[in-house]
Amino acid sequence: MNRLHGPKERWTVLSLGLAGLAAFLAFAQARSGWAAPPANGGSSGIKVGDRLPDVLVIGAGGKPVRLTQTGAQVKLISIVPQLNTPVCDEQTHRFSEQRGSLDPKVQVITLSTNSADDQAAFAKKARIGNITFLSDAPGYEFGRTTGLLLSPYKILHRAVLVVDRDNVIRHLQLVPMGELPNFDAAYEAAGKLLPRP
């Protein structure tokens, strides 16, 4: 009988299980119109006009990063349930491919509950180097604070935030799990926050 001898092998199986779960949620929604609610039962704990939570997330190399202190003038935060699933991959690729149309002062962030190592492996394989990857695992501080954590599954509800230089949320779209966000609306919201020449 095969055994999982080390943490790397066990984490690989866990990641595959979460990827399968995200794919199943997307499939179920596509078939039935069902949308998985945030953890607090149907509405997130954040809204336009709120301040972005001052939480610690994990950046490249496992380094803790305060989400409010990335140094960006405008942040466009793409929240995906789990990388390496079709809809999450497409959402991430689209934001990367269209990054060139945005002002350099806009920082594009992908936030998920994949580990920082898994995010780095994904970015390398996908050849994505123009967006910032941040992980909400293992503490899920962002998801718990905002109500976007789907607690039984340890994944985040799909969403897009646009945040100004004062860390105030100016655009929020909660996206059904099996659908893509409105990219143009996010870009328009980010553009409006930049100073005019």
Catalytic residues: 88
Residue 7 dihedral angles phi and psi, to the nearest 5°: -65, -30
Q: Are strands 74-79 and 159-163 parallel, antiparallel or unpaired?
A: antiparallel
C-alpha neighbours within 13 Å on the C-beta side of residue 11: 11
Token code pair at residue 38: 């945030």
Q: Considering just the CA atoms, what is the radius of gyration of the chain in Å?
A: 16
